[in-house]
Amino acid sequence: MMRHCMMAVRVAKSQIPLNTARNTQNYLMQRFYSNNAPAIGVVDYDVVKKLPSEPQKLLIDVREPEELKETGQIPTSINIPLGVVSQELAASEQLFKSKYGREKPKPDSEIIFHCKIGKRSLKAAEAAAALGFKNLKNYEGSWLDWAQREGLSK
């Protein structure tokens, strides 16, 4: 990652007149190394277990539909596979509601993502952050943690 950032700085710097290169390099370093994206929180089993009584929160399972057929899903979750999360969260409110039976989340709505182990769900949360959503959480234990605690097959 660092190597790619430095290469981008060199490329950008090479396209700038010499007299402005120093100031621009400082700007580019800030741009590449600062993170204006919202922090992505972490939730655990206890938080997810309470979600049926908190309908204002949205739980999104980013696994593929075939995975859900094999394992089942966490109650109240909706399935939006990782590959289409950005597209679906950017869809109109009407289309989102017709597809998922839930109101489309607002930029400040709490959205919790999960998958099988928590890696794809983190990528989904990052994609949502890029779309302007601010109250994002990742269930790190995801399905494996849920299944173990609920006594389900993994």
Catalytic positions = 115
Query: Which two tokens mark 85?
Result: 């999360």
90's CB contacts (< 8 A; 6+ apart) are 131
Which of 81, 44, 39, 40 minimizes the C-alpha distance to 60?
Answer: 81
Which of 5, 135, 7, 137 minimizes the C-alpha distance to 60?
Answer: 137
